[in-house]
Chains A and B, each alone.
Chain A
Amino acid sequence: MNYLIGAFKPACNISITFADGKNRKQVILKLMWLCLRTSIFACCMKSVKVLILICNVHSADGDECVAICVYTKVPLKKENGQTIMVPLFQSQENISGKISIEPVLGKKVEHNGVKIELLGQIEMYFDRGNFYDFTSLVRELDVPGEIYERKTYPFEFSTVEMPYETYNGVNVRLRYVLKVTVSRGYGGSVVEYQDFVVRNYTPPPSINNSIKMEVGIEDCLHIEFEYNKSKYHLKDVIIGKIYFLLVRIKIKNMDLEIRRRESTGSGANTHVETETLAKFELMDGAPVRGESIPIRLFLSPYELTPTHRNINNKFSVKYYLNLVLVDEEDRRYFKQQEITIYRLQENS
């Protein structure tokens, strides 16, 4: 039986840790102190479950550095539906740490080399198992040889270019992963993956016009609506109003929907998937001419991502505000407007 178990079990255990564990305590203390002076802490506390704050530190001193290097562990949904907490990075960060390989039950492990890869992959669900790597960095950790006992390899990828954010959509997924491979001839290679999340922050756009539009059905319904911006960050609030110029239908209610349109593939193979992420009732009952209805929609409760445009020619994720008027016969009249969503540096 042992044999059998041994046959299916990998020959060694690989663990990947990011290079910050020893600094953790110190960093957290510093961070706490820092946060007292800024609003970061509050923001973090509010938005997501912050479990661990870890820093990737080059020089251990200086508030600035600490602040920049803070990363969070964020939830990431796995393929099997489980949610795990994974570290968070952004582009241009150093990703370093160590790998430790421990042979099982004290057996020696023969290998043809140990390497670590940092992969950025796009995976189409309709094309399962076929990953497209848009980023692939490799570090050789060891030359072929044998490992007898637990062995640790430090690794580092410096200022890694990670232009795209991690994304988990309906038909597509973009993920970053560290892949450690212990290459072996006959017994098969031992591979270990460690996911991490990348989020990239955008400064506030310099031009951010409001969306203003007059729409209608002739002699039936004329409205004018206005959203205060065309670009919103994830914790933003949409302010606006709808002005009724002409109402000849019996309106029952009016909703504002946030819709995400994910398109994958290209050309004839384009798949479009639209989800309604928010349905927010703006008005109850039938207005008359001249009535103006306020809009105030907080985005924070909804699980949004930034807008992604043509990511590596593979997919796009766009957001729309859909204004829907429903009449008493449940007919829907709507007008969709694209908005751009971006991730704002939270302490900026």
Chain B
Amino acid sequence: MMLSGDEDEEKWLAEGIAGVQHNAFYMHRALDSNNLREALKYSAQMLSELRTSKLSPHKYYELYMRAFDELRKLEMFFKDESRHGVSIIDLYELVQHAGNILPRLYLLCTVGSVYIKSKEAPAKEVLKDLVEMCRGVQHPIRGLFLRSYLAQVSRDKLPDIGSEYERDAETVMDAVEFVLQNFTEMNKLWVRMQHQGPGRVREKREKERNELRDLVGKNLHVLSQIEGVDLEMYKENVLPRVLEQVVNCKDELAQYYLMDCIIQVFPDEYHLQTLETLLGACPQLQPTVDIKTVLSRLMDRLSNYAVSSADVLPEFLQVEAFAKLSNAIGKVIDAQVDMPIVGAISLYVSLLTFTLRVHPDRLDYVDQVLGACVKKLSSAPKLEDSRATKQVVALLSAPLDKYNDILTALTLSNYPRVMDHLDDGTNKVMAMVIIQSIMKNSTCISTAEKVEVLFELIKGLIKDLDGAAQDELDEEDFKEEQNSVARLIHMLYNDDSEEMLKIICTVRKHIMTGGPKRLLFTVPPLVFSALRLVRQLQNQDGDVAGEEEPATPKKIFQLLNQTIETLLYVPSPEMALRLYLQCAEAANDCDLEPVAYEFFTQAFMLYEEEIADSKAQVTAIHLIIGTLQRISVFGIENRDTLTHKATGYSARLLKKPDQCRAVYACSHLFWVDDQDGIKDGERVLLCLKRALRIANAAQQMANVARGSSGPVVLFVEILNKYLYFFEKGNTQITASAIQSLIELITSEMQSESTTLDPADNAFFASTKRYIEFQKKKGGAMGEKYDPINV
């Protein structure tokens, strides 16, 4: 049906055009023969084609343009009195004899334009008459086009300042009055279109109206082009009149378009100076008007204007642009109760953008905007609308982007309050944005207070929010989030140890609330951050010692102890163990034997009670051995206890090769290659021998279990340990012992039952080569190696 409707319309248009052309042909003939009577007759008939009601605005425009072109020729004819012999005044009457109003008024406008040009009557009078007579056409589309024709022909004939039609008696006001009146009437027709016509679908009508809007808007454009419209007149006359019309028409489409039009066609400084009036109209508009777009365009324009030149800034201050805008937005939101929350928020976003651009120094403004936003948000339930949350994110991101500095945002008291209104997901997104901003700008947050605020902001990442359903979080996202938090912790830093301690405490307080899943990520950075402080304190040791010092390593270690303990509930004993060892080592550096001992105790307890997995045990024991080896602070007794424990655990590992390796590693516990390190050659040898025994046992076990002996690599490894201590001057390690070990290995390797691993072979070969090399090198070492035969 739709299609046939369109086809019909095509047909009607074609008929209309044919009618115009037909009559235009006769009109031309009349014009050529200077026959006024015929010219009037045929031009009226031609214009009668415009009386159709069948065409949509689009098609009607096409027809109108045809007639328009023809009327130009007629106008030329009218202008030349010698051709028709009738004075312009008589002509003005003559065309009014036409019986049909539409052709009559088109002709009247055409003659009227000639009349003004002739200057036989004041332009003002003629214009007034024309605009008044046009009232006769009340049909929206026909009326709009007729008045648009009037606007078109009168455009260059307005009694504007400097125009040839300006007379003493005629002020610019007449020109303005004329345009305003035409505008008002056109707008009324345009609005009326919505309520008239056949019961066509609303959307179609709206579409048609949209096609016509520029006809109406053109009047505003003309107004803005009138030289004589200065600020004074704009303020006193033009704007109030236009706004009155806009408000009174009570039409959504018109209000939106016209407001936008006003903003676009008049100069920036006018807007700035009439801000109050312009904004005053906003709350009076229909609730469905997309006022946020209007206002944001206004603010865009104004902020561009502000940025364009530094000279205009004082004007902004003088007119209190911000306060007015802010006020207006508040009023609009209050007035439009049905406005979706997203609309309100995006208004605030625009205002914020404006503030940031125009008054970057006024943080209080920013805070004010956020405060208003909080107020709005708190009146509604938590945000569900994804578009709204998007806007809130934009709102919150704007200051970050502008200042490139989270510190600024932290001073905004309303910032966290806005975040409170976000749903958890968005809250996290926002928190990530904040962290990324910090990372990107390497912002160092240096006071506990700010840290407190910051953590309040990103609490979505720090802990599970109340009532939040434990949705199945994407594991990867979660990891990334928590890694970000971990990175963030390193950005919290102050050189002043006292403050730093406070920071650490604050951080600790927050991350402790995070639950087991997060602790795994957040505790390590905290521990290392604390350890850094410890080291720092240690460096400045001396000058502050003895005083009532709040930040002492001891205190920190206590804190750390408690902190690491929490990991047990995660549970993540491996991580805890590592951290204990780290702390122990740090305590060692601080010469705090009891502390270090305590940490070791904790580590061992963990090992005993929590670490059951054999692989984890192997890793743990090696870590323990390694750490213990480096620690020098222990007295003999403590050390003995710990080394004893360590060797004991080593020997009790599950797998023989693991036992063997742990045991030979323990040998290092007794031989610290320092000046005053412990050097107990005997116990080293004991360890190594024990390792050999275990290796042997492993070999045999393999024989029994699989029928082939195990790899010889354990022996080669032990050989290397022998060589190490041999070189270090352990007298318990003799050349002969080494010799016999080599032989043992050689024979093992030749044994049939041995499965040969090329890597083992190569290892052994290179060990032997090393011995050869040492021998050949000569010197003390060469002599020492001499007895060994490979």
Is the C-beta of A205 less than 8 angstroms from some C-beta in chain B? Answer: no
Is the C-beta of B776 less than 8 angstroms from some C-beta in chain A? Answer: no
Contact of A291 among B102, B133, B135 (CB under 8 A): B135
| Stretch of A179-187, A189-197, A221-229, A281-289 at the chain-chain interface | A281-289
Shortest CB-to-CB span from B450 to chain A, Å, is 64
Contact between A294 and B97, CB atoms less than 8 A apart: no
- Please report which residues of chain B, range 132-158, place their CB below 8 angstroms from some CB of chain A when the two chains form the complex: 132-133, 135-140, 142-143
Interface size class of B (residues with CB under 8 A): 20 to 34
Instruction: Find chain B residues with CB under 8 A from A287 CB.
Output: 138
Shortest CB-to-CB span from A299 to chain B, Å, is 10
Shortest CB-to-CB span from B143 to chain A, Å, is 6
Contact between A279 and B99, CB atoms less than 8 A apart: yes
Is the C-beta of B761 less than 8 angstroms from some C-beta in chain A? Answer: no
Shortest CB-to-CB span from B665 to chain A, Å, is 100
Is the C-beta of B101 less than 8 angstroms from some C-beta in chain A? Answer: yes
Shortest CB-to-CB span from B564 to chain A, Å, is 82
- Please report which residues of chain A, range 241-277, place their CB below 8 angstroms from some CB of chain B when the two chains form the complex: 250, 253
Shortest CB-to-CB span from A45 to chain B, Å, is 11
For the complex, give the distance between the alpha carbons of A279 and B104 in Å: 13
Contact between A280 and B99, CB atoms less than 8 A apart: yes
Contact between B96 and A285, CB atoms less than 8 A apart: no
For the complex, give the distance between the alpha carbons of A294 and B132 in Å: 7
When A284-B139, A284-B142, A286-B139 are in contact, do A296 and B96 touch as well, CB less than 8 Å? Answer: yes
Contact of A298 among B93, B100, B143, B188 (CB under 8 A): B93
Contact between B136 and A294, CB atoms less than 8 A apart: yes
Contact code string A283-316 (vs B, CB < 8 Å = 1, else 0): 1111110011110101011000000000000000
B103 nearest CB neighbor, chain A only: A281
Instruction: Find chain B residues with CB under 8 A from A281 CB.
Output: 99-101, 104, 136
Contact code string B34-59 (vs A, CB < 8 Å = 1, else 0): 00000000000000000100000000
Contact between B140 and A285, CB atoms less than 8 A apart: yes
For the complex, give the distance between the alpha carbons of A286 and B196 in Å: 9
Question: Dominant SS at the A interface?
Answer: strand
Is the C-beta of B192 less than 8 angstroms from some C-beta in chain A? Answer: yes
For the complex, give the distance between the alpha carbons of A278 and B196 in Å: 30
For the complex, give the distance between the alpha carbons of A296 and B139 in Å: 19
Contact of A283 among B51, B132, B137 (CB under 8 A): B137
Instruction: Find chain B residues with CB under 8 A from A292 CB.
Output: 135
For the complex, give the distance between the alpha carbons of A293 and B133 in Å: 8
Shortest CB-to-CB span from B433 to chain A, Å, is 53
Contact between B138 and A291, CB atoms less than 8 A apart: yes
For the complex, give the distance between the alpha carbons of A282 and B97 in Å: 12
Contact code string B96-130 (vs A, CB < 8 Å = 1, else 0): 11011110100000000000000000000000000
When A294-B133, A294-B135 are in contact, do A284 and B96 touch as well, CB less than 8 Å? Answer: no
Contact between B135 and A285, CB atoms less than 8 A apart: no
Shortest CB-to-CB span from A325 to chain B, Å, is 12
B188 nearest CB neighbor, chain A only: A288
For the complex, give the distance between the alpha carbons of A296 and B95 in Å: 12
Contact between B97 and A301, CB atoms less than 8 A apart: yes
For the complex, give the distance between the alpha carbons of A180 and B188 in Å: 70
Contact between B137 and A284, CB atoms less than 8 A apart: yes
For the complex, give the distance between the alpha carbons of A285 and B140 in Å: 8
Contact between A296 and B133, CB atoms less than 8 A apart: yes
Shortest CB-to-CB span from B191 to chain A, Å, is 10
12 A-B residue pairings within 8 Å (CB atoms): A281-B99, A282-B136, A283-B138, A284-B142, A286-B138, A287-B138, A288-B138, A288-B188, A288-B192, A291-B135, A294-B136, A298-B93
20 new A-B contacts at CB < 8 Å, known A281-B99, A288-B188: A253-B101, A278-B99, A281-B100, A281-B136, A283-B136, A283-B137, A284-B51, A284-B101, A284-B102, A284-B138, A285-B138, A285-B139, A285-B143, A286-B196, A287-B138, A291-B138, A293-B138, A294-B135, A294-B136, A296-B96
Top-5 shortest CB links A-B: A285-B139, A285-B138, A281-B101, A287-B138, A301-B97
